[in-house]
Amino acid sequence: MLTHYLKTTLKQFSKSPSFSFINLFGLATAMAVCLIIFLYVYRELSFDRFHEQAENIYRISLHADMQGEELYENVSSPAMGPDLVEAFPEILDYARMSGRQTLSIWQENSFITVEKTHYADSTFFEFFSFELLRGNPHTALVEPYSVVVTETLAQKLFPDQDPMGKPIRLDDDTRKYTITGIAADCPPNSHIQFELLRSFETLIVNRQGVFTEWDANLSYHNYVKLLNDTDLDDLLKKTEELTYEKVNYKFEGMGVKITFGYFPLTDIRLRSPFGNELEEAGTLWKVWVFSLVALFVLFIAGFNYVNLTIARSGKRAKEVGMRKVLGAHKKALKKQFYLETLFLTGISFLGALILAEIFLPFFNQLLNTNLQLLNIPWWGLLLSVIIFVGVFGLLASIYPAWYMASFHPVKILKGEFWSKPGRFQPRNLLLLIQFAVSLALIVCTLVVFLQIRFFQQKEHGFNEKNLLVVRTESREDARIFMNAMESFAWIEKQSISTTFPGGPSYMEGIVAENVEPGFMAHRLWVDEHFMQTLELNLLEGRNFERADGLENENALVNQALVRQAGWTEPLGKTIERGGRTYSVIGVIEDYHFQSLHQEIEPLLVNTIDSRPDFMSTPYWVQVRYKETGSPDVLLSVQEKWEALFTGNTLRHYFISDHLHLQYATERSFGRLFQAFTLLAIIIAMLGVLGLSSFAAQQRQKETGIRKVMGASTSSILFRMSGEFLKWVMVGAIIALPLAYWYMDKWLSGFAYAIDFPYWTMLAALSGVLALALVIVTTQSMQSARANPADVLKTE
Amino acid sequence: MIKSVDLTKVFRTEEVETTALNKVSFEIKEGEFVAIMGPSGCGKSTLLNILGLLDNPSGGEYVFLEQEVSNYSEKQRANLRKKNIGFVFQNFNLIDELSVFENIELPLIYLGFSASERKKRVEEVLEQMQIMHRKNHFPLQLSGGQQQRVAVCRAVVAKPHIILADEPTGNLDSTHGDEVMNLLETLNKNGTTIIMVTHSQRDASYAQRVIRLFDGQIVTEDKATEFVLSSTTQ
């Protein structure tokens, strides 16, 4: 019997290859998408779980309440780890790690730039389960100036040599570091990613910062390992008491309070609320969205399979009828159809593996991941086979099997086996959902695209083209660098400032003349060339003539500050800050010194020399170069830099690139929508294909009779298409208002956004209508053109 | 073998009620060759469907092989059908995707015969009907007469007690029609009961008895020869 079924299945396949292909393709695409999503979700859920006792490891987080202003950080003082272990017996161990630093490793006359370097505690390799391939995990990071590098970096530094014990020189540090361990490359599912680790002891012997105070040096990640079944609430309470003794007693009465928390290691990837994680974090929403997409895709694919199969069942009615006449039970027939579906889902699964391999690079680019099909665990593959081939196959075959096995042989022999048309059936509802989802996604994609284009085209109020910024550590370095750069003929203008457009920003409370109370303003210190270099507009007054003492009491302000202060005649007005009084000498036209996500806020500009010395933030040289005749700017700058500051890594940005990067989230959001839209359209159109071919067959007799009565081919096509277009319209009534509501909300999150483009709704509707019309027409054409005599004879 | 008492079949739609069979009573003995005749719409096919256990009557009794089957479920009817009844249709109803061999093999599959037994039986019947050379062909590669011969093979392969034939020569020319009728006659001579619905007096002449229906009722029940005689004298 089984052989017979298989034979029949194969014959069915070869009999209608196009139908089989559509079915296979639809199922394989859906399964491929689900496989990729499974890989993604599995990867996200597995983050940081490879560490032994991962569930007992926590990272200290900081919450500061400063007179109502709240601050959440994932960093804390390096003093905390040791203090906590000493204070609380349930904290077994700690490991500290500094923030990420980019370093140059010198090798004779060249250097390699390494982006992911940290200082790490000597306990690092015992605390975490990162694999140390060479060296002793207990001692590798004990000595000062010892360094552990990853296998890949070791290979880069010392190809074909044993790197262990080799000395290396880092940045401009004159001391030599020694490689004491080779670590395996960090697993991709780790939130900690390093290429090089320096021993923590190096920091201590160099006395880089304070290591004993809880409120100083707040730039380290403190990880702690807790005893099994530790009562976290109790620990938090005790920590709060300790925090009072260590820090909070100092702030009593000042409205400042610091609280430390324990953030689970295994939650960092999925649930981190901190904005400054080194790798992407807070991805739980993506896991949800993708999981829902997978379910939706699978559901729709199954539904389309059912539709297509039912659509074709007319062709198999005679077979089914005869089998029944010859004594086949419903059960036997159902078994046959189950088997056929299982066979199809089995083949589709193989197809899905191939498609997934083809789609993966695209998904990897979209999600910024490196997913590989080979990474799927054996149980995942087994589970996929069970779910996609077994469960899905079975579910998708239930209705067609039941439907076909219920054909009444007498009716089939009379040619009456279709269900009555015209009733509202579940398949129409599902078609409606598919249309609605497609329409909504098209609108969203278009709006996201338009908003990104708006960002890219919006004037920032300064000329972002041909503008390079270079970081220096002091005013003197900046001036030395600028002097050296003067030798290049392609330099148009240069200036120094304390930040650059789109760069870090610094705010302080100021008191403007005649304005009570004070308000917050961004601070910027610049030289006299700043305005010309950025090509800013001066609306009234004058620019700084020099950047030294004579202008130190003067200030430039932007329009936003003038507005905030409510001044009508700003020139000559005074601004107080930190015991100093500045006199406004000019008003700059508003420009976007932050990203377009934020509104332009008040800006106070002073001369670079008036900047207080205790502020240790860097100085940026802004280089405006000529459009034509500029050689490889970066290469020339790099050479000059190395000649001046040997050993220090050049840190730079091209402003236009940097601004572009600021909209990465929107672009990734846009790409995500594009992918889902494409998927939704493909799926919906497969659905239309299935249903329209079903309808065309179902209405063959009706069509024949209409033609006998004198209906033209076009009037029949019009009638059949109308049935589908009706559902597109109902889908539009549901989807478009929802899309409008969601995207309007999304746009309102931007300080500068386009007005909701209503034409996108019309475009989406026309697109879907046109596509559906083409499919329905091609499917109905055969039926509409058929000779009514043939049709009615068959009936 | 077959006994019907007041057999009734009523088709109902929302508004219309049609009585296809109205208290039809008759008996058919084992080994008989009976023809059912009558004009279109008189209820011949409905009667054949009920006799063939493809459908249940709305009323009356139907005794098949000494079992009252009028209220049997679909499953019970299928079980009884596959063991005891062979069907021959006007339009052959062969499955186009299956070869001649596979088409004939089908009833044996549902009866649970082993592959070797199926092969033996199918080849036996192919030899008997002299179409062994066509066993790997597909229905659409055969002439109408050959297709009906395959359909007869399929009807007899499971050695049923009864063969129900619905206009078996309706789609054939007279030469092929005679061939098929001779086959049925031979089968009948070998002990198979045959019930045949037909419009053709020529085909009916092969039968030993003719049941004549009109508007769902039996109007005459004659010996076939007498019927032929009387119709020729008129």
Rounded Cα distance, A234 and A474, in Å: 47
Task: Give pLDDT, residue B231.
Answer: 38
Q: Does B83 touch chain A (CB under 8 A)?
A: yes
A323 contacts in chain B (CB < 8 Å): 95, 106, 110
A302 to chain B, minimum CA–CA distance in Å?
A: 26
Which whole number is the average pLDDT over B125-146?
Answer: 90
Mean pLDDT of chain A: 85
Q: Does B74 touch chain A (CB under 8 A)?
A: yes
Rounded Cα distance, A550 and A548, in Å: 6
Rounded Cα distance, A421 and A46, in Å: 50
pLDDT at A664 over 80: no
Nearest CA in chain A to B74: A329
Cβ of A329 and B115 within 8 Å?
no
B119 to chain A, minimum CA–CA distance in Å?
A: 13
Residue with tokens 């694919």: A301
Least confident of A27-36, A326-335, B1-10: A326-335
Report pTM. Answer: 0.73
A456: which DSSP letter? Answer: H
pLDDT tens for residues A366-411?
777 888 888 888 898 899 899 888 888 888 888 888 888 888 887 7
Nearest to A622 by CA among A534, A525, A523, A522: A534
B224: which DSSP letter? Answer: H
pLDDT at B158 over 50: yes
Task: Give pLDDT, residue A110.
Answer: 66
Residue to mutate among A326, A329, A330, with most B CBs inside 10 A, is A326
**In this complex, how many residue pairs, one in chain A and one in chain B, have their CB atoms less than 8 Å apart?**
62
At residue A319, what are phi and psi to the nearest 5 degrees? -60, -50
Task: Give pLDDT, residue A572.
Answer: 92
Position with higher pLDDT, A65 vs A760: A760
Nearest to A446 by CA among A210, A765, A177: A765
Task: Give pLDDT, residue B229.
Answer: 39
Nearest CA in chain B to A10: B97
Task: Give pLDDT, residue B101.
Answer: 94
Of B74, B97, B115, the CB nearest to A11: B97
| Residue B221 in tokens | 């029940």
Cβ of B97 and A322 within 8 Å?
no
A777 to chain B, minimum CA–CA distance in Å?
A: 29
| Residue B74 in tokens | 């679909």
Task: Give pLDDT, residue A227.
Answer: 95
Task: Give pLDDT, residue A614.
Answer: 55
pLDDT tens for residues A166-175?
988 887 667 8
Determine which helix (DSSP H) or strand (DSSP E) holds B114, and give its type and residue range.
none
A6 contacts in chain B (CB < 8 Å): none
Tell me how many degrees the CA angle A445-A731-A691 measures, rounded to the nearest 5. 105
- Pair type for strands A580-588 and B162-166: unpaired
A178: which DSSP letter? Answer: E
Cβ of A413 and B107 within 8 Å?
no
pLDDT at A559 over 90: yes
Nearest to A541 by CA among A611, A476, A589: A589
B79 to chain A, minimum CA–CA distance in Å?
A: 6
B77 to chain A, minimum CA–CA distance in Å?
A: 8
Cβ of B111 and A327 within 8 Å?
yes
pLDDT at B122 over 90: yes
pLDDT at A347 over 70: yes
pLDDT at A312 over 80: no
pLDDT tens for residues A134-170?
999 999 999 999 999 999 999 999 888 899 999 888 8
Q: Does B127 touch chain A (CB under 8 A)?
A: no
Mean pLDDT of chain B: 87
pLDDT at A520 over 60: yes
Asked if residues B86 and B36 have their Cβ atoms less than 8 Å apart, the reply is no
B213 to chain A, minimum CA–CA distance in Å?
A: 20
Alpha helix locations (H) across A541-654?
559-565, 633-644
pLDDT at A779 over 50: yes
Q: What percent of chain A has pLDDT over 90?
A: 35
B158 to chain A, minimum CA–CA distance in Å?
A: 10
Task: Give pLDDT, residue A716.
Answer: 82
B52 contacts in chain A (CB < 8 Å): 325
pLDDT at A612 over 90: no
Nearest to A403 by CA among A301, A303, A317, A302: A317
Of B78, B95, B105, the CB nearest to A327: B78
pLDDT tens for residues B138-148?
998 998 889 98
Q: Does B90 touch chain A (CB under 8 A)?
A: no
- The residues, ordered by sequence, that sit 6+ positions from A763 with a Cβ below 8 Å of its Cβ are A442, A446
> Is this complex's ipTM strictly greater than 0.95?
no
Position with higher pLDDT, A427 vs B138: B138
Cβ of B110 and A319 within 8 Å?
no
The region, left, alpha or beta by phi > 0 then psi within -120 to 50, assigned to residue B103 is: alpha
- The residues, ordered by sequence, that sit 6+ positions from A407 with a Cβ below 8 Å of its Cβ are A313, A317, A320, A321, A324, A417
pLDDT at A86 over 70: yes
Q: Does B208 touch chain A (CB under 8 A)?
A: no
Alpha helix locations (H) across A537-595?
559-565
Q: Does B10 touch chain A (CB under 8 A)?
A: no
Cβ of A328 and B97 within 8 Å?
no
Least confident of A413-427, A628-642, B204-218: A413-427
B97 contacts in chain A (CB < 8 Å): 8, 11-12, 15, 319
pLDDT at A686 over 60: yes
Rounded Cα distance, A313 and A418, in Å: 9
A11 contacts in chain B (CB < 8 Å): 97-98
Alpha-carbon dihedral sign for residues A51, A56, A60, A63:
positive
Asked if residues A573 and A565 have their Cβ atoms less than 8 Å apart, the reply is yes
Confidence of residue B228 (pLDDT cuts 50, 70, 90): very low
Rounded Cα distance, A322 and A770, in Å: 41
A695 to chain B, minimum CA–CA distance in Å?
A: 24
DSSP string covering A391-451, please? IHHHHHHHHHHHHHHT--HHHHHHT--PPPTTS--HHHHHHHHHHHHHHHHHHHHHHHHHH
Task: Give pLDDT, residue A549.
Answer: 74
**Which residues are bridge partners to B214 per DSSP?**
B217
**At what angle are helices A2-15 and A17-45 packed, to 10 degrees?**
110
Cβ of B98 and A8 within 8 Å?
yes
pLDDT at A191 over 60: yes
Rounded Cα distance, A629 and A533, in Å: 18
| Residue A631 in tokens | 């050689």
DSSP string covering A107-154, please? ETTEEEEEEEEEEE-TTHHHHS---EEES-TTTTTTSTTEEEEEHHHH
pLDDT tens for residues A36-65?
889 989 999 999 999 999 999 999 999 988
Interface of A with B (CB under 8 A): 1, 3-4, 7-8, 11-12, 15, 318-319, 321-330, 332, 409-410, 413
A7 contacts in chain B (CB < 8 Å): 102
Rounded Cα distance, A669 and A663, in Å: 10
**Terminal CA-to-CA distance of chain A, rounded, Å?**
32
Which whole number is the average pLDDT over B67-83?
Answer: 88
pLDDT at A426 over 60: yes
pLDDT at B68 over 60: yes
Determine which helix (DSSP H) or strand (DSSP E) holds A594, and give its type and residue range.
none
Cβ of B97 and A12 within 8 Å?
yes
Rounded Cα distance, A690 and A304, in Å: 6
Least confident of A463-467, B136-140, B173-177, B230-234: B230-234
Which whole number is the average pLDDT over A82-104?
Answer: 91
pLDDT at A294 over 90: no
Task: Give pLDDT, residue A615.
Answer: 56
